[in-house]
């Protein structure tokens, strides 16, 4: 990854700010002959769209994706031609806004100060590239990545919100996509708990973080590389590239550091298909940087948004000490919407490794 | 990162296996005019060398580094010319060994099975590229990266070993490098605790993981980029690329997901130097992917080695069920030696971003 | 360069086909604080626009560029923020067209057959990515690259068209931009010659190639790298990436192979500014891959378009032998419009090396 | 290409200077399971070795290649494991030398001045990275690339030397490798002409350039990409990266700019294998950046070496005007030895595209 591009063979470049006329991405290196519909891309985008419950920002963004290149029409759908697929979403909710106050103050926990240190100027109009809006294009690219991996199922779920966490014994993937589930939680019993907790956070003008787990099933064994191109490393880098993510782990992650070697190593028995059958999955489906064929499991931690009503101490560009309060709409838990984003990034990482593996070895 | 190269302007390529004649690296893009001595590189290498206490493998590797290109002699030392710096360590402890048994069995927790799935063949002679030996070249490259960043101090410490962790109140950087400290722990009180614990692990033929913390002080504000080139993302990817690492985090990491926005956002007051003074460092020195000028703090989790004496269930290449025991020398806690490796990777990541920042903005 | 991206720090990704809704590019890594106006970009685009004389295709493309990201308004103009600059041109002249005939036939000299061999499908609607239209985005990116290099003047000229060539003794850069000069030729005396020649070619339904020379003045000494990052190599690769280019050379180019060492090596005398003054410029401003400070001179050969009225023998997708005639509008000499494209590519190559040099060495 | 690495999936990094202890390369991304012998690599290296006739420098370099990683022994040979293949040649002919004079003077036509402008220091000991010696590692990497492409035959020949050129009617590939042929010329009749001509050049203390043609037969149709990853563009970039190369062309190259569209476009008829049969090969086996299945033909121009006995005017580092004469051994025509180097670079370019094509499309 460098600048605003990620991937080696399945390469995604995103561009755009929430306050500009549009945001977009270019997916370069997508295999030719991939069949999909605009509606399939749109459906993924709709999953991360704000304004779907009282727990996420009411900012209305229809997020209607346009596909500008790299495809031909075929029947009712589209087929990739092998050339760059450009996708774009126009920003329709660009209210003219008085940024005057924010333009001169460094909001604590935001990138205001660091942007200015980096670029020598201040683009005060929204979060710049760190805006949550940018993540829409990751989801669009991820929707295409899924099509490159037809036999792989990639699903995410929220497993912790602030001080509350799910009971993994209740895990139900179907419930994650239940329209009555505003949290992408896999544990039905957690919904009232999270709802009450988050209502409290919201009323207090506060915010809270979350932990998201993404699971990829059906990934063939052999993807990845031993060290600098480890599949887990790339998955973690892709997840860390999401705004507000502070930690990532694969398999049992940090827990691995606590337990013993004989507990941690996944034992094997003969499988019915002539391949080893693993008796556990502490490794999260990856050993030595290479997929084992077991489900790939990754988790990432999203920090609480710093856009809160509680006044926080800061300084302004002139060096004067000020208090900062973030007014206006915001999400009390931005981590909720991170679920489809995490899925998309995992899909892109695996798609890239799938093509790289095929290139180097001729298999896959 | 791709294949065996990492970095964009400060680019490191490593090669070699523990069972071959040598291992090495090429550092390409190193600025010209960097002054250093071979002894300085060697000193870093000696820090990760096995055989220094009863807690690490007694395998003797003098690890004498040769510098083959990219430098001129100047006075008593060397100066980089701007061309690729090639470094190499010859493998002297290549005992002829009977791998027959291991060659046919998949060791649980090792990459034996996945290597074969990836490459279609089995290089059974040691851990291939996943060998701990490979990390020597990261340390050599990191020693050079430190020279590119003369005002940055990068130090690591072991903060947890299996079920035991340090008391952060006792943190003493000087103690980390005390020759009487076999653990790179910053807490003197932890030494007897870790020693007794690890003796028990070793006697049981078991192994245990560790958590390492790396802190970089003196990093100027402005390094990094908002999203796909986030400094924290690259630091995490560099750390995840180390063999046996299962999780990474920056600043308060996973803890950020648990606390509230007003607790998490680091407040600012006017500093004496005209710059903001942060009142806390939950962000770990990075906001919006860009350094704030505060210390950069990253942690990574190392799993317990799967080379243990306890028999584990597995299968062989023919599909038959077998028990596997790893004989011979091994480290009960490979995480100890990961401390200088983690420092080296953080140094390389920051050096690369330093050059990239200077390239894009002309500052730095 | 890979796929549809070129450059390391000044990175350009282009997308789009002439028959789709739009074409565009993303310029990533552009330094922040670069001031320019939309009109300046547009002016460059207008130079390559078809429909300006009887010698170029009458296809009307207003080519109105939109700037979608990476800039802030400042006064009457724009300033780059350091984030990706996305530019787009909508395709307005998309006549609904019957491609039936072409869809099944491989046009000689076109990429019809090779596209199908590569992608396994046929995108018959225009030239795909090889369309001349794609080059508009190179020109837009190049206009921005020029702004990164304020003291560098990059100009191109047509020096040969088919069997006719200019008299270099008449070289007049001002004449190249004379509105009465439809050929970008620097030799006023060549205009009637080229005009008569090209009228004959056009009337015969034929086509002819051209040689373009690009000169960059004011490039500081020190850009480039000895071998794999040679400035001349990258300039040549950038020029070769233009559709229909079959050869490239720097300085005296192929002529260097004909003359002797003492004729070829540019001698030096002491300059007034303390720097060497070169007595000739056979090297084309580059020695050992690194700029000397002299003008950089590159030339490239554009083949005649294969879209001609003369029937040519070919086969169709079913393997049957057919004759192919290209009807409709076309340029008798596509090389004319290649002049601003060549300038743009040289500008992008030098801008990238300028940033890379600054990154590695801290100078520039 | 950047810095000292080239290729995307078949990636080669070279390092080393002629005056250091060794030179080497790392081939990363080589497919696993490639069988070869050290002798096969050595045989390619021996073809470019100096000291084989009176027409090339008498510098003795045994150029014995060591293979340090990425292979396993299998039978009498080696097999790649998929990990980086590191190869090294020790420099044995490092005479202690008085560089005093050269150290302070800028040799005309050499990179002395530009190196100093780039790096801010002067590595006077030989040509630095621009040394012809570096090319040995390209040949070693190319030998491996050939093994990745078992059905492709890549051969080069010298087609012009200074003012003399071959008669293409006499072309005989077998003669190129005749031990009695000191010039890699394909035209037996040219040998006495070149010999007499070059003797005169040598006696005059002068030098002369050459044009080399490389032909790759058996390349499947479909390799490459339409524009920024054109196969011809990458071949040209790889050839331009060779020291002293000033121009490159594919197919009829610059000649294409001179002829008409109906002459230039290669017509097709039905082939016996169901594929089109091309009636000519002006395109040099590449249309729209993608291979047609015809032989790929590229040419490059090598300038005469500037190491000549004739005094040339220059300046020294202090700005004083001086005369420079290059004493000692040198090649009167360095282009001769460029033949195996050109072949190697074309092999590497095609191998990389072969793997990239397989990655994106699953074919090949």
pLDDT at residue B128, as a whole number: 78
Neighbours of chain C (3+ CB pairs under 8 A): A, B, D
A43 vs D100 pLDDT, higher one: A43
Query: What's the angle, vertex CA C321, arms to CA C317 and CA C324, rounded to 5?
Result: 85
Nearest CB partner across the interface for A3, out of C14, C29, C79: C29
Asked whether residue B53 carries a pLDDT value surpassing 80, the answer given is no
Give the best residue of D288, D349, D362 to mutate against chain C (max C CB count within 10 A): D288
pLDDT at residue D184, as a whole number: 96
Give residue-wise pLDDT tens across range D333-356: 999 999 999 999 999 999 999 999
Give residue-wise pLDDT tens across range D146-191: 999 999 999 999 999 999 999 999 999 999 999 889 999 999 999 9
Measured CA to CA, the distance from residue A319 to residue B274 in angstroms comes to 6
Cβ under 8 Å to A: B residues 139-168 = 160, 162-163
Could you give the C-alpha distances from B326 to A321, B110, B130, B206, D50, in angstroms and in order? Answer: 62, 11, 16, 11, 51
Chain C residues near residue A119 by CB distance under 8 angstroms: 32-33, 81-82
Q: Is A14 on the interface with C (CB under 8 A)?
A: yes
Q: What is the mean pLDDT of residues B246-257?
A: 98
pLDDT at residue C159, as a whole number: 98
D14 touches D25 (CB < 8 A): yes
Helices (H), chain C: 38-48, 100-104, 112-119, 135-148, 173-176, 190-203, 231-240, 261-264, 338-361
Asked whether residue B361 carries a pLDDT value surpassing 70, the answer given is yes
Asked whether residue B218 carries a pLDDT value surpassing 80, the answer given is yes
pLDDT at residue C144, as a whole number: 98
**What residue has token string 């020379």?**
C213
Instruction: Assign B246 a pLDDT band (cuts: 50, 70, 90).
Output: very high
pLDDT at residue B267, as a whole number: 97
Interchain contact, C356 vs B359, CB within 8 Å: yes
Interchain contact, C69 vs A5, CB within 8 Å: no
pTM for this predicted structure: 0.96
pLDDT at residue D60, as a whole number: 57
Asked whether residue B1 carries a pLDDT value surpassing 70, the answer given is no
Helices (H), A62-150: 100-104, 112-119, 135-148
**What residue has token string 């041109």?**
C89
B349 touches B240 (CB < 8 A): no
Interchain contact, D29 vs B3, CB within 8 Å: yes
Cβ atoms within 10 Å of A30's Cβ, excluding its own: 28
Chain A residues near residue B118 by CB distance under 8 angstroms: 222-225, 290, 357, 361
Asked whether residue D269 carries a pLDDT value surpassing 80, the answer given is yes
Nearest CB partner across the interface for C32, out of A5, A20, A120: A120
* Widest CA span in chain D: 70
d(CA D18, nearest CA chain B) in Å: 9
Percent of the residues in chain C that have a pLDDT greater than 90, as a whole number:
79
D70 touches D88 (CB < 8 A): no
Give residue-wise pLDDT tens across range A26-80: 999 999 999 999 999 999 999 887 556 767 665 555 789 999 999 999 999 999 9
How high is the mean pLDDT of chain A? Answer: 92
C110 touches C127 (CB < 8 A): yes
- Phi/psi for C169 (5° steps) reads -65, -20
- What is the 3 state secondary structure string of B269-327? EECCCCCEEECCCCCCCEECCEECCCCEEEEEEECCCCCCCCCEEEEECCCCEEEECCC
Buried/exposed B144-157: b ≥16 CB within 10 Å, e otherwise = bbbbbbeebebbbb
As to burial, measured by CB atoms within 10 angstroms (0-12 exposed, 13-18 middle, 19+ buried), residue B186 is buried
Nearest CB partner across the interface for D15, out of B16, B69, B123: B69
d(CA C310, nearest CA chain D) in Å: 7
* Widest CA span in chain A: 70
Q: What is the mean pLDDT of residues A75-97?
A: 86
pLDDT at residue C2, as a whole number: 61
Mean pLDDT, consecutive 10-residue segments, chain C of 364 residues?
A: 86 93 96 96 86 62 88 94 96 64 85 92 74 91 97 98 98 94 96 96 95 98 93 97 97 97 96 92 97 98 91 93 82 93 98 96 87
Give the best residue of C68, C88, C125, C127 to mutate against chain A (max A CB count within 10 A): C68
Q: Is B69 on the interface with C (CB under 8 A)?
A: no
pLDDT at residue C255, as a whole number: 97
Interchain contact, D266 vs C109, CB within 8 Å: yes
Instruction: Assign B93 a pLDDT band (cuts: 50, 70, 90).
Output: low
Residue B181 tokens read as 């400290």
Instruction: Assign A94 a pLDDT band (cuts: 50, 70, 90).
Output: low
Interchain contact, A28 vs C17, CB within 8 Å: no
Neighbours of chain A (3+ CB pairs under 8 A): B, C, D
Interchain contact, A246 vs B268, CB within 8 Å: no
Q: Is C260 on the interface with D (CB under 8 A)?
A: yes
Looking at the DSSP bridge assignments, the partners of residue B24 are B15, B88
Cβ atoms within 10 Å of C49's Cβ, excluding its own: 18
Measured CA to CA, the distance from residue A231 to residue A247 in angstroms comes to 17
Instruction: Assign A15 a pLDDT band (cuts: 50, 70, 90).
Output: very high
Lowest mean pLDDT among B124-133, B320-329, C74-83, C331-340: B124-133
Cβ atoms within 10 Å of A122's Cβ, excluding its own: 18
What is the CA B187 to chain-centroid distance, rounded?
20
Nearest CB partner across the interface for A82, out of C28, C66, C118: C118
Nearest CB partner across the interface for C359, out of B82, B226, B356: B356
A36 vs A98 pLDDT, higher one: A36
Interchain contact, D72 vs B11, CB within 8 Å: no
Closest residue in chain D to residue B129, using alpha carbons only: D83
Instruction: Assign D307 a pLDDT band (cuts: 50, 70, 90).
Output: confident
Closest CA to A222 of A284, A150, A286, A297: A286
D212 vs C329 pLDDT, higher one: D212
Interchain contact, A22 vs C69, CB within 8 Å: yes
- Phi/psi for C67 (5° steps) reads -110, 115
Instruction: Assign D310 a pLDDT band (cuts: 50, 70, 90).
Output: confident
Tell me the Cα Rg of chain C: 21
Chain A residues near residue B123 by CB distance under 8 angstroms: none
Chain B residues near residue C359 by CB distance under 8 angstroms: 9, 355-356, 358-360
Closest residue in chain A to residue B5, using alpha carbons only: A228
Chain A residues near residue D358 by CB distance under 8 angstroms: 358-359, 362
* Interface confidence (ipTM) of the complex: 0.95
Cβ atoms within 10 Å of B362's Cβ, excluding its own: 17
A134 touches C83 (CB < 8 A): no
Give residue-wise pLDDT tens across range C254-266: 999 999 999 999 9
DSSP letter for each residue of A194-232: HHHHHHHHHHTT--B-EEEEEEEESPPTT-B-SSTT-HH
Asked whether residue D51 carries a pLDDT value surpassing 60, the answer given is no
d(CA B336, nearest CA chain C) in Å: 34
* B39 Cβ contact partners less than 8 Å away, ≥ 6 residues apart: none
Residue D238 tokens read as 């790889």
């Amino acid at each position: 990854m460098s600048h605003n591009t990620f991937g080696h063979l399945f390469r995604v470049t995103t561009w755009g700010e929430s306050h500009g006329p549009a945001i977009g991405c270019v997916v370069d290196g997508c295999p030719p002959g991939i069949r999909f519909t605009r509606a399939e891309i749109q459906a993924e985008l709709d999953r991360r769209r704000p304004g779907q419950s009282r727990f996420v920002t009411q900012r209305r963004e229809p997020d209607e994706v346009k596909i500008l290149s790299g495809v031909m029409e075929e029947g009712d759908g589209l087929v990739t031609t092998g050339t760059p697929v450009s996708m774009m979403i126009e920003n329709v909710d660009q209210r003219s806004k008085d940024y005057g106050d924010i333009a001169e103050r460094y909001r604590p926990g935001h990138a205001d100060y660091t942007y200015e240190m980096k670029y020598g100027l201040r683009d005060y109009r929204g979060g710049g590239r760190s805006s949550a809006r940018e993540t829409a294009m990751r989801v669009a690219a991820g929707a295409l990545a899924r099509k490159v991996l037809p036999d792989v199922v990639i699903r995410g779920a929220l497993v912790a919100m602030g001080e509350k966490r799910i009971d993994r014994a209740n895990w139900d993937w179907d419930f994650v996509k239940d329209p009555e589930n505003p949290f992408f939680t896999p544990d039905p019993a957690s919904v009232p708990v999270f709802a009450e907790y988050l209502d409290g956070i919201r009323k207090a003008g506060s915010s809270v973080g979350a932990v998201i787990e993404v699971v990829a099933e059906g990934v063939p064994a052999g993807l990845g590389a031993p060290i600098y191109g480890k599949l887990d490393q790339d998955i973690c880098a892709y997840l860390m590239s999401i705004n507000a993510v502070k930690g990532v782990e694969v398999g049992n992650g940090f827990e691995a550091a606590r337990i013993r070697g004989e507990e941690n190593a996944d034992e094997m028995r003969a499988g019915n298909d002539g391949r080893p059958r693993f008796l556990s999955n502490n490794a999260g489906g990856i050993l030595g940087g290479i997929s084992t064929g077991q489900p790939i499991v990754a988790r990432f931690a999203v920090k609480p948004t710093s856009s809160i009503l509680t006044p926080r101490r800061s300084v302004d560009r002139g060096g004067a000490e000020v208090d900062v309060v973030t007014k206006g709409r915001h999400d009390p838990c931005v981590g909720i919407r991170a679920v489809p984003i995490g899925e998309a990034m995992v899909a892109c990482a695996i798609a890239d490794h799938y093509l790289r593996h095929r290139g180097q070895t001729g298999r896959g």
